[in-house]
Amino acid sequence: MEPIHNFFENYLKKESIFREKTVLLSSYDPDDVLYRKEQLQEVANILAPALRLEKPSNLFIYGKTGTGKTLSVRHVLRSMVEIAQKNQVPLKSIYINCKLKRVADTEYRLISQLIKEFGQEVPSTGLPTDEVYNIFYQLLDRQDQTVLLVLDEIDQLTKKIGDEVLYNLTRINSELHRSQICLVGISNSLIFSENLDPRVKSSLSEEELIFPPYNAIQIQDILRQRAQRAFKEGTIQAGVIEKCAAYAAREHGDVRRAIDLLRVAGELAERSGTTFITITHLDEAESKVESDKIINVATNQPKQFQSVLYPILLLSKQKKSLFTGEIYDLYKNLCKRSSTNVLTQRRVSDILAELDMLGIINAKIISKGRYGRTREISVSIDENIVIKLKEILEKSLQLN
DNA sequence: AGGTATTCACATGAAACTATTCTCTGAGTTAGG
DNA sequence: TAACTCAGAGAATAGTTTCATGTGAATACCTGT
């Protein structure tokens, strides 16, 4: 009781090195978006007609993660809505992230989410999809207005459920009398539109915009801008920002990652009791972010995934590479021992592919010639994390 | 030696099935007038 | 007769299984020198 009490007492007395931590969260919208002037202006040009109740061209935005796509679009939309309100223009902007599980990752849920944006609820299941579309149409057409619909991570959506939804959405305008809708698609994948229905493709990307990655210098400036507001004066040692930017530049200029890193470094510094952030903190943050991410992902996987993953981790030390067949055998044994039901090899093959996607393992398809074709699997994470993960899996699978 | 045909051990695709969650509908039941 | 209950039909969805087809290159098997 006493020590904890003291801890909190001290904690409160100690001065935080953060001034305004929210600046380092991904939801933060800076007043000034650095190095994106051109893109902002482009987006604004394209969407501006909406303010005069003309239908803007549909817009498609490409760019890798952390290149400011989402930020820029939201920034533009926010000021458009402000102007619209001031001038009594019936403009509505809707932002939807299609990747969010259980929110907007299927056709039905996407439309029901849209309905929610208009202030109505629709049951989460049980209704035919057409019904939901009808409700949406009626809702849309209830008043004269222009709707700007932003679909973020749209590539994830089509990967999962195809492009029929997009086709329907692009066609909506011909069904509406009083409103019009303008689509803004945001995609991380540069080759996204390649395997899209040509009709959808042409109408969706009437205008296209590419966000190039930031270079190291630009990342530094952005970090400084944020750090200045986020941290108190003189809490960052020389070289920290530079190194942080270098880390991110290595990962195709992902600023979000850089900002994350800086925040975690700050938290680590604070926890260790110092009043400034050193490069060591940054390095620690780098490995912590990485390991947290992986462990988090792995523990959130279903049991069957973990049962497949466990033998891989177990053997990763002895063998540099494993093949699907071997793993399937081990997995089968594991299931028998813990008397869970065994999945087919077909399924396990898919699971391995997904674990690869998640970045927990490396699974390359190779041909061993006469001896068949298979995945060559190795663990793609640091050994320390492997050990930690092994323990966690043992617990969650209730092995001894 | 050089060329080609086989063959292995899975990969990959498509469709169908299962189980769960949820709505809607209409028949049967109940309570009140 | 109006309100209520409850079972059954239908939907959406996630996770699988079943069946079918595809595939890259190390070997086996020829062929002609």
Strand, coil or helix: A185: strand
Contact assessment for residue A84 and residue A91, using Cβ atoms and an 8 Å cutoff: yes
The Å distance, CA of A123 to C1' of B29, is: 28
A183-239 pLDDT tens trace: 999 998 887 777 788 888 888 888 999 999 998 899 999 999 988 888 888 888 888
**pLDDT, position A400:** 54
Distance of CA A92 to the CA centre of its chain: 25
The domain locations on chain A are 2-17+215-296, 37-210, 301-396
Residue nearest C17, CA–C1′ metric: A344
The Å distance, CA of A195 to C1' of C19, is: 27
Distance of CA A373 to the CA centre of its chain: 33
The Å distance, CA of A112 to C1' of B21, is: 17
Q: Is the CB of A329 under 7 A from strand B?
A: no
Q: What share of chain A is helix, strand, coil (3-state, %, to 5)?
A: 55, 15, 30
Q: Which nucleotides of strand C come closer than 7 angstroms to any CB of the protein? A: 10-20, 22-27
Q: How far apart are CA A39 and CA A43, in angstroms?
A: 6
Nearest to A104 by CA among A162, A172, A152: A152
Q: Which nucleotides of strand B come closer than 7 angstroms to any CB of the protein? A: 6-14, 21-24
Same fold? A37-210, A301-396 = no
A90-127 pLDDT tens trace: 999 999 999 888 888 899 999 999 999 998 888 888 88
**Hey, which CATH number is domain A37-210, 3.40.50.150, 3.40.50.1860, 3.90.245.10, 3.40.50.300?**
3.40.50.300
Strand, coil or helix: A361: strand
Q: What Å distances lie between residue A135 and A66, A96, A108, A161, A162, CA to CA?
A: 36, 18, 12, 21, 22
Q: Is the CB of A35 under 7 A from strand B?
A: no
Nucleotide at minimal C1' distance from the A324 CA:
B10
Q: Which residues touch strand C (CB under 7 A)?
A: A 101-102, 105-109, 125-129, 302, 304, 341-344, 346-347, 351, 367-373
Mark residues 366-385 of chain A whose C-beta is closer than 7 A to nucleic acid strand B: 368-375
- Determine whether domain A2-17+215-296 maps to CATH 1.10.10.60: no
What's the pTM? 0.88
Q: What backbone torsions phi and psi does residue A149 show, to the nearest 5 degrees?
A: -110, 115
Sites in chain A below the pLDDT cut of 50:
none
Burial of A378 (0-12, 13-18, 19+ CB in 10 A): middle
**pLDDT, position A15:** 73
**Hey, which CATH number is domain A301-396, 1.10.150.120, 1.10.3720.10, 1.10.10.10, 3.40.50.620?**
1.10.10.10
